[in-house]
Structure 1
Amino acid sequence: MIKLKQIAEMAGVSPATVSNVLNGRKNVGEEVRRKVLELCRQTGYQPAARVHKGGQPRTVVFNFSDFDRSFYLNIIKGISECLTENNYDLIVCTSRSSRNFMKSRFSAGAISLDGKISDEQLLAVAQDGYPVVVMDRVLENESIKSVVVDNYPVMCELVQKLILKGYQRFGYVGGTERSLDNIERFAAVESTLRANNLPFDKKYYFHGDYREKSGYQAAKLMLLGNALPQVLVCANDNMALGAMRAFKERGLEIPGDIAVTGFDDCDAAALMGLTTVSIPRYENGYLAAKELLNLIEGAAADEPFKISASVCWRETA
């Protein structure tokens, strides 16, 4: 059976343009519209969305992979409120089930914050003009919009202020190695130290997975060595809180014996006095939903939308 992508190639336009024609959107010229519809007639192509009674589905899918991270709740709240204002429904799912929902027969588009879904899977979903907003990576496709945290400048600011406070020996607990967040956050640590002629000793780099347990284990490994860094920068709050628990079990004072910082500003961070980077998660979700609705209405994806963050100084550093 012929696919939308083939119709686009024959018409000399993008899959998104074909999708806009088939969904009756007004952002396509009349000549292109007629050409696409004539090709559909000649080839017998029937778009999946036409099987829906009442027209295009008004359901959006949000998929994510980690139920332990509390900030998802604020993201979901922002997404839900934006969609509700625009008369769309929301379905929340995980990577295992998302393939069943990220289809034009079922939903109008998807928002993805799931490291378990590969770039190839997302690009394949979008190849027929299915709109997708990604919140954990940058992908180049006119049906995919990236809405990501602007990690680098705020992490540079955090590390520079720590240096000005007198810290010179830094440790780092990273998240998932290939995640954009971890890559950008560690790059900021290294470059800021380098700009201040301070080395980063690789023995103080520990791998984590953004969960509290991995931060706890990293700190336990650190305690087995003969020397601790002066400050431990963690790629998120959960790992920072896990590391703090391990240090306190050993009787260490924070920040007296070792300072600790996080990233996210989850609810527990404030309770524990954790110095961290605050990300407006509700606004992050709301803007992701807004960008998706723009794609659904026929706008082509442009440059990534970067969410600003700010350092929140508390007692741990």
Structure 2
Amino acid sequence: MAQFTIKDLARELGISPSTVSRALRDHPDISKATKKRVTEAARKHNYQPNQLAQSLQKKRSNTIGVIVPEIRHDFFSTCISGIEEVAYENGYIIMVCQSDEKLEREVINTQALVANRVAGVLIAISSETTKYDHLQGLLDQNVPLVQFDRVVEELSTSKVVVDDYAAAYNAVSHLAESGYKHIGHMAGQEGIALNFRRYEGYRDALRDHGLPYKEKFHLHGGYREDDGRKGAARYLAMDEMPDAILAINDPVAVGLYAAFKDAGLRIPDDVALVGFSDNPVSALIDPALTTVRQPAFEMGRTAATLLMKQFRSEDDTFTPETVILETELQIRGSSRRGGK
């Protein structure tokens, strides 16, 4: 038996094939009543869209490209799970690439995804991405692009981020209110928007609590545990050390934690630590790590949902959106004297 087609649905419902197609894509110009009639008829006849025909017509596949700095990072792997859920619900599959925090690999990844005719791209940029011609190139080729977590603010795309300023401000305020007087910040690499927003939150919280800002306590580095160990070595070499540190993420905080303990420092009595992202390991070390919980799964879902929305929009009606998600400070033993 021949498969039911869009033309068959249109003939049965007395509407045009283009209206059927737009209703199935949940286009905003089609009324809810028409969408309901179309979806009920499609279900009745077990209509399945011809993905191959659609991809040939669009010159794109039903694959979504995802680029993240590294998959082993629990935060990004959870984001990917959220992305995949939305993609699957909408008939897409995902192709995941990792940049390994390198601009060169990120550029190669984008080129490979375009060569595979992906329907769109979701990206969290690498720590080296201060130039973004390759991402502008995607937009110039009309490849839908959504950025999440680490973004290039200058690009006209939809974005999903957390309120990095408020998260850092609240974390430093907690340290100040816990009695710490000399608070440092182990930041990521310069040039990334979220690093600057967290720095601003850190600096303003110090000011508002009457605490000094010491430039030497504000260090830049990478995003991995080894970067935390390197940062700890720099702090330990100072004539005076901070008594508390806000780290750019949990892996860096864990690296600081391990190096300080190896050096004989007590956490949190000699130095308190706060991380960012709430990786599972943060609750397993002793004392457990205070950290900023980011809604990673929701971030992935939201980014993918914005991409689906862009797919359904006509080019001349699409307006980029920025969604800002809230965070929550998980207070644990690493920032409370006595570890209680």
TM-score of the two chains, using structure 1 as the length reference: 0.80
TM-fit CA distance, 1:262: 0.6
- The one-letter amino acid of 1:305's match is V
Query: Is it true that 1:187 corresponds to 2:205 in the alignment?
Result: no
Which whole-Å CA distance do the structure 1 matches of 2:71 and 2:182 have between them?
Answer: 34
Equivalences for 1:139-178 in 2 at 5 Å? 139=153, 144-178=157-191
Tell me how far 1:197 sits from its aligned partner.
2.5
C-alpha contact 1:139 1:145 (8 A) present in aligned 2: no
Is contact 1:208-1:239 (8 Å) kept?
Answer: no
Deviations 1:93-118 (A, max 9, x none): 13434233443861110001122453
Instruction: Determine helix, strand or coil for the equivalent of 2:61.
Output: coil
* TM-score for both structures, normalised by structure 2: 0.75
**Structure 2 CA distance for partners of 1:105 and 1:204, relative to 1, 3 Å:** closer
Deviation for aligned residue 1:195 = 1.9
Gaps of 5+ in 2: 1-20, 30-51, 100-104, 336-340
Summarize the Cα distance change of 1:257–1:140 in structure 2 as closer, same or farther, 3 Å threshold.
Answer: closer
Name the amino acid aligned to 1:99.
T
- Aligned residue pairs total 275
Identity %: 29
**Which region of structure 1 is more displaced relative to structure 2, 270-279 or 67-76?**
67-76
Distance change >3 Å, CA 99–CA 161, structure 1 → 2: closer
Distance 2:198 2:111 in 1: 33
Within-5 A mapping of 1:233-244: 233-244=246-257
Residue number among 123, 134, 137 corresponding to 1:112 in the alignment: 123
Relative to structure 1, the CA distance from residue 131 to residue 305 in structure 2 (aligned partners, 3 Å threshold; closer, same or farther) is: same
Q: Does the CA-based 8 Å contact 2:233-2:259 persist in structure 1?
A: yes
Instruction: Report the secondary structure of 2:219's partner residue.
Output: strand
Match of residue 18 from structure 2 = none
Supply the distance in 1 between the matched residues of 2:54 and 2:306 (Cα, whole angstroms).
26
- Runs of 5+ consecutive residues of structure 1 not aligned to the other structure: 1-22, 29-48
Aligned counterpart for 1:59 among listed residues 44, 59, 63: 63
In 1, Cα distance between equivalents of 2:296 and 2:116: 30
Q: 1:194 deviation in Å?
A: 1.3
C-alpha distance in 2 between matches for 1:79 and 1:103: 19
Residue 103 of structure 1: SS of its match in structure 2?
helix
Task: Give SS of 1:176's match.
Answer: coil
Q: CA deviation at 1:119?
A: 2.5
Q: CA RMSD in A?
A: 2.5
Shift of 1:198: 1.7
Q: Which residue of the partner structure matches residue 136 of structure 2?
A: 123
